A = this chain, B = another copy of it.
Amino acid sequence: MKHILAEVITIGDEILYGQITDTNTQWISTELDKLGIRTVRKSSVGDDKERILEILQEAESRADIILITGGLGPTKDDITKNVLAQYFNSTLVIHEQALMEVTAYFKSKGKELTEINRSQAALPDTCTFISNKRGTAPGMWFEKNGKVFVSMPGVPHEMKGMMTDTILSKLQKHFETPVIYHKMIKTVGIGESFLATKIEQWEDNLPPHIKLAYLPTMGQVRLRLTATGTDLATLQADVEAQTTQLQSLVSDYIYGYDNDTLESVTSELLLKHRYTIAVAESCSVGYISYSLGSVAGCSQYFMGSIVAYSNEAKINLLDVNRNTLEKYGAVSEETVKEMAQQVRLKFNTSIGMASSGIAGPSGGSEDKPVGTVWIAYADGKQTVARRLQLGNDRDLNIKLTAVHVLNLLRQSIY
Residue of B nearest to A280 (CB): B304
Chain B residues with Cβ below 8 Å from A294 are 285, 394-395, 398
Identical chains bound together, number: 2
Chain B residues with Cβ below 8 Å from A296 are 360-362, 394
Given contacts A18-B30, A395-B294, contact A304 B317 (CB under 8 A): yes
Q: Is B286 within 8 A of A293, CB to CB?
A: yes
Given contacts A19-B213, A317-B346, contact A286 B306 (CB under 8 A): no
**Nearest CB of B to A45, in Å:** 6
Interface residues of A in 89-141 (CB under 8 A from B): none
Chain B residues with Cβ below 8 Å from A17 are 29-30, 33, 38-39
Docked CA distance A286–B348 (Å): 19
Q: Is A18 within 8 A of B22, CB to CB?
A: no
**Nearest CB of B to A327, in Å:** 21
Q: Is A51 within 8 A of B41, CB to CB?
A: yes
Any B CB within 8 A of the CB of A312: yes
Q: Is B304 within 8 A of A310, CB to CB?
A: yes
Any B CB within 8 A of the CB of A340: no
Docked CA distance A317–B319 (Å): 13
Residue of B nearest to A308 (CB): B304
Docked CA distance A38–B293 (Å): 43
Any B CB within 8 A of the CB of A275: no
Interface string of A349-362 (1 = CB under 8 A from B): 00000000000111
Q: Is A286 within 8 A of B305, CB to CB?
A: yes
Any B CB within 8 A of the CB of A271: no
Q: Which of these, B38, B45, B279, B309, contacts A299 with CB under 8 Å?
A: B309
Any B CB within 8 A of the CB of A44: yes
Interface residues of A: mostly helix, strand, loop or mixed? mixed
Q: Is A16 within 8 A of B40, CB to CB?
A: yes
Any B CB within 8 A of the CB of A265: no
Q: Is B304 within 8 A of A313, CB to CB?
A: yes
Chain B residues with Cβ below 8 Å from A18 are 25-33, 39
Chain B residues with Cβ below 8 Å from A281 are 286, 289
Chain B residues with Cβ below 8 Å from A16 are 29, 39-42
Docked CA distance A32–B18 (Å): 9
Any B CB within 8 A of the CB of A21: yes
Chain B residues with Cβ below 8 Å from A308 are 304
Given contacts A285-B289, A309-B299, contact A43 B40 (CB under 8 A): no
Any B CB within 8 A of the CB of A307: yes
Docked CA distance A22–B18 (Å): 12
Residue of B nearest to A299 (CB): B309
Chain B residues with Cβ below 8 Å from A286 are 281, 286-290, 293, 305, 307
Docked CA distance A313–B296 (Å): 19
**Nearest CB of B to A84, in Å:** 19
A interface residues (Cβ-Cβ under 8 A, vs B): 15-23, 25-33, 38-46, 51, 55, 58, 213, 215, 279, 281, 285-290, 292-294, 296-299, 302-310, 312-313, 316-317, 346-348, 360-362, 394-395, 398
16 A-B residue pairs with CB within 8 Å? A15-B42, A17-B39, A18-B26, A18-B30, A18-B32, A281-B286, A281-B289, A286-B289, A286-B293, A296-B362, A303-B313, A304-B317, A306-B317, A312-B348, A316-B348, A317-B346
Given contacts A18-B31, A285-B292, 17 further A-B contacts (CB under 8 A): A17-B39, A18-B28, A20-B215, A21-B26, A58-B58, A285-B289, A285-B290, A285-B293, A285-B298, A294-B394, A294-B395, A304-B310, A304-B317, A305-B306, A306-B307, A312-B348, A317-B346
Which are the 10 A-B pairs with shortest beta-carbon distances? A285-B293, A286-B289, A286-B286, A18-B30, A18-B29, A42-B44, A304-B313, A286-B290, A305-B307, A304-B309
